[in-house]
Amino acid sequence: MDIWHVKGGRGLEGSCNVQGSKNASLPIIAASIVTPMECRLYNLPKLYDVDAALSILRHLGCRAEQQGNEAYIDSRPLSATYIPNELMEEMRSSVIFMGALLARCGEAKLSPPGGCQLGKRPIDLHLKALRELGADIVEDEGEIICKSRALKGRDISFPFPSVGATENLMLAACAAKGRTVIHNAAREPEIIALADFLRSAGAEISGAGTDKIEISGMHARKSAVCRIIPDRIAAASLCCACAACGGDIELKVSNPSQFSTVLYFLNEAGCDIINSTHSLRVVSNGKLRAVKGISTAPYPGFPTDAQPVLMAALLKADGESEIEENIFSNRYRQVPELRRLGAEIEVEGRTALIRGVNELHGAALSATDLRGGAAMIIAALSADGESVILDDGHVRRGYEDFDLCLSSLGGDIILES
């Protein structure tokens, strides 16, 4: 159990680096087993979810070691295709090992993935796409058993641009005979990062970052090197913290355009956003104005992962802000906890109305999920008095040294583990 002790009322100032991307790291770790090879990953964040992914590799027989923000993976000795439930339930992204194992071994056996309970997140699209490639998939007593003698490339269209299903299909298609074309593919920066890694390992992939991705097999190489891209959601969270508390911070991040929709609404709320070549500066007087029209959508729309932290930033904004959540049915789990701080939030179906209050006060809270936990920390930093947030490891699944980063910017926060 993690206990976050947060004293509010301080502005944030200074500069800090942005961690490596969680959502890019996990599929790249899974991709390391698509073909027998050695790979080195740089800027890999130290997170519970990364630990879980590396544990899966070791269970499968691979060598996987992380020291600081670097990791060495040797997938040549892979000897198993079964991932037990206790490893699968650690994180949602564990499902992407299905496509990787099919590509490498022609079989996989696993259970449905775990992770934050944000509402119904079926893996039907994953299974349907892999079946279209030629995989025989049986769901039996809580286990998913996948087998294929020979995957065959073909045109596959998604009804919705699912990130996970796109990644799973990309991994499996590396071993398919012929060309695979993914229509209505997810376009997130993490998809581009995965394609870049697979190309470095010998895959023939084009179109990543558009809604049409083509994969024409793989000429396997013996090694690959990858530097994980900065985490756009972690960067957005820090920007929202500055907006809520007031202050002047600089983030060392290479591509702020990857979360430009978040920056747009922070600017609409009254923050100054200043971009330079390799950094982003956010200036806030802490007196924001309400904004409307926030509606989560697949990339390049407003990211659902940033919805809770932007909500936290708007709790004291003058007027009534409005957010529409279109991705997950249960993504407002942070709302009852934010109300304990004195926030006025009304949820009607997919819409949340935030009526700005003059002040928030410290309270005892319980983190509900990864981004909801981050939202509570941000709100507590902007509240009067001290808050204590009980957290069953949610925040450290996706944020590396969040307490130290915020403390370096002037926040009064202590993590007791």
Q: Which residues are catalytic?
A: 116
Residue of 278, 282, 208 whose CA lies nearest to 239: 282
Collapsed DSSP state (helix, strand, coil) of residue 398 = coil
* CA distance readout (Å), 4 to 31, 40, 315, 371, 387: 34, 33, 20, 15, 8
Token pair in block for residue 293: 């029209």
Number of Cβ atoms within 10 Å of the Cβ of 278:
11
Say if residues 146 and 185 touch (Cβ distance below 8 Å): no
In sequence order, the β-bridge partners of residue 275 are 280
Q: How far apart are CA 186 and CA 183, in angstroms?
A: 9
Burial (0-12, 13-18, 19+ Cβ within 10 Å), 258? buried
Token pair in block for residue 47: 């997170």
Token pair in block for residue 216: 């024409």
Say if residues 344 and 296 touch (Cβ distance below 8 Å): no
Sorted by sequence, the CB contacts under 8 Å of residue 345 that are 6+ apart come out as 311, 315, 335, 338, 339, 352, 353, 354, 355
Sorted by sequence, the CB contacts under 8 Å of residue 58 that are 6+ apart come out as 64
Q: How far apart are CA 316 and CA 360, in angstroms?
A: 8
